[in-house]
Amino acid sequence: MARRYSNPRITSRTIRFYDQASSKLNTINIEESMTAEQKLYLGLNKAYSSNTKTVVVNEVAKTVLWQDLTFATPPAGFPPLTKTDFTLFINGVIVETDAIDSIVQNGSDVLVSFNTGLNYIIEQIDEYMITGKFA
């Protein structure tokens, strides 16, 4: 009768892959890296409509001035606000960021300037809405 195994078998129970795993685990403590002020700022997104806020439209200069509206102050270490931090709608249609030259704080107002990429005429009778990081 022939032997099935030429050498004595080594059982798989002699060494287990997890035997030393518990001695090599490193405990990592993750500390909170953001302050409450920073978290609040990141989640800030207020919306204002021309139906509830005074908006002055200059059709020739292609600008919209939101009266008595101020930007939120970024916490220390955060970049200043740019046009990409805001979303603008005209008559319910979103305005592409490329069609906006700038969104800036102008005293206690916010001034939005459009370029030729807007492709239509703005008028005082239109409805304007802006969302973003406002105080």
52 inside domain: yes
pLDDT tens-digit map of 117-134 = 888 899 999 999 999 999
Closest CA to 133 of 106, 103, 89: 103
| Parent domain of 72 | 44-132
Identify the residue with better confidence: 31 or 79.
79
pLDDT tens-digit map of 80-111 = 999 999 999 999 999 999 999 999 999 999 99
The residues near 61 (Cβ < 8 Å, ≥ 6 apart) are 113
54 inside domain: yes
9 inside domain: no
pLDDT tens-digit map of 36-85 = 889 899 999 999 999 999 999 999 999 999 999 999 999 988 899 999 99
H helices present in the chain, as ranges: 36-43
The residues near 47 (Cβ < 8 Å, ≥ 6 apart) are 129, 130, 131
35 inside domain: no
